[in-house]
Amino acid sequence: MIARSMLSFLAPRRTLIETAETLAIALAGGGIFTLLGLPAGLVSGSVLAVAAAALLGRPVHLPLALARVGYVIVGTLLGTVVTPETLRGVETWPASIVVVMLAALAMTAATMSYLRLVHRWDLLSALLGASPGAMAQGIALATELGGDLRAIAIVQTVRVLLLVVGLPNGLALFGLAVPSMPVSRGPAGLAVLPEMTLLLVVATLLAVLFLKLRFPGGLLFGAMTGSAILHGSGLIHAALPWWIGSSAVVTLGALVGSRFANTSLRMLIGYLGAALGSFAVAMTVATVFILIDAQLMRIPIANIVIAFSPGAQDTMMVLALALHLDPVYVGAHHLARFLVVTVSVAVAARRVAKPQSTGAAARSGDSGNPAPRLGKDNR
């Protein structure tokens, strides 16, 4: 009983220590990148620092509750830049939404073919590793249907890391990104405390509602919707203080970087070729559709780049915040892409897995246990 009591005491203490270390590493990385003047320095620096610490064996960890608070704050900040003029632009987007859906399907097909033909992945693992911005779904389907969990997770996670670090600097290289230092998005302080309180209450309530309704990215999109309604209608003009927003960005950067936890350098190197190659294929396809959409839309191309990039919704929305882009445009496109990828990949994965599992069962004489499908490095 004494030993059990000691374990129950040490567990939360250990979690607290690991969380504090993770946040300190993220803050250091984000601070260094920001001082260097790199675009989106807070998010890219925090992601890279925590990912490096994880690969070096540090026990990086971020509690779910803290991550959820970060999503609500970032969503609230995204909504503060919405104006009536921003909302009126929605009517010009239908063609662009169609283009991003086609881009998602094309990226998935091209990347899947690359993993299948070049790295000899089985069809199911290649499909799940190729789906843009759908790592959680890919892991869930791989667990259920027998895909290579390790390969899928590493390829998807490296893709996110490359996007977070590469996109802001790539945009800056062509003069399309703004400086990384935080800027005010509205009045903040004691004078507008009632407005800030109303903003947080409405954003939090809608975030919880969207989460309960199982809306994709519910906390982030719900908070953004609540904030956008208040700001887009002109009811309030207040924003959260910059240091609150910066803290949330660093927290979510730490969350992304912590995905490399329990991944050794040797394991990462084993899949690095597949990760880099598939990323190059996906971005090549994305670039084609970005150029097509740029001909259709009269908006800054940085918005289109972030909207069409094959990253997770939450990560791309944090980048949109850090780069001071149009959150409604970026969010709408990532939501549309997420929906088409979720449905198409789920249907395709089950059709791919069924004949493979049947054939494996026939060979093994056991029809109840589908054979696992591994990439070439694990066979």
Number of domains into which the chain is organized: 1
Q: Do the domain assignments include residue 327?
A: yes
pLDDT at 139: 82
pLDDT at 364: 36
- Using a pLDDT cut of 70, give the percent of the chain over it: 84
| Pairwise CA distance, residues 25 & 50, whole Å | 6
Q: Check residues 106 and 11 and name the one with the higher pLDDT.
A: 106
pTM given for the model:
0.80
pLDDT over threshold 90, residue 204: yes
Nearest to 326 by CA among 95, 69, 70, 80: 80
Q: Do the domain assignments include residue 93?
A: yes
The residue type found at 266 is R
pLDDT at 107: 95
Q: How confident is the model at residue 351 (pLDDT cuts 50, 70, 90)?
A: confident
Region 240-265 average pLDDT: 89
pLDDT at 378: 37
Q: Do the domain assignments include residue 1?
A: no
Nearest to 330 by CA among 111, 167, 204, 186: 167
- Among 6-10, 19-23, 111-115, the range scoring the smallest mean pLDDT is 6-10
Q: How confident is the model at residue 135 (pLDDT cuts 50, 70, 90)?
A: confident
pLDDT over threshold 60, residue 15: yes
Query: In this structure, is the dihedral angle defined by the CA atoms of residues 134, 135, 136 and 139, taken in order, positive or negative?
Result: positive
Tokens of 112: 């899947």
Q: Do the domain assignments include residue 251?
A: yes
Computed over every residue of the chain, the mean pLDDT equals: 83
Nearest to 147 by CA among 160, 130, 164: 130
pLDDT at 182: 45
Region 336-356 average pLDDT: 84
Tell me which residue range forms the domain holding 310.
10-364
Q: Check residues 252 and 89 and name the one with the higher pLDDT.
A: 252
Q: Do the domain assignments include residue 18?
A: yes
Q: Check residues 196 and 6 and name the one with the higher pLDDT.
A: 196
- Among 54-68, 198-212, 231-245, the range scoring the smallest mean pLDDT is 231-245
- CATH code of residue 294: 1.20.1530
Q: How confident is the model at residue 321 (pLDDT cuts 50, 70, 90)?
A: confident
Nearest to 148 by CA among 117, 126, 120: 126
Question: Which segments of the chain does DSSP mark as H helices, in order?
Answer: 2-35, 41-55, 64-79, 84-88, 94-117, 123-130, 135-145, 149-173, 193-212, 218-232, 242-257, 265-296, 301-308, 313-322, 327-364
Q: Do the domain assignments include residue 341?
A: yes
pLDDT over threshold 80, residue 266: yes
Q: Do the domain assignments include residue 319?
A: yes
Q: Which residues contact 140 (CB under 8 A, 6 or more apart)?
A: none
pLDDT at 191: 60
Q: How confident is the model at residue 262 (pLDDT cuts 50, 70, 90)?
A: confident
Q: Do the domain assignments include residue 145?
A: yes
Region 296-308 average pLDDT: 89
pLDDT at 98: 93
Residue 277 half-sphere exposure toward CB, CA atoms < 13 A = 18
pLDDT over threshold 50, residue 369: no
- Among 18-22, 156-160, 182-186, 192-196, the range scoring the smallest mean pLDDT is 182-186
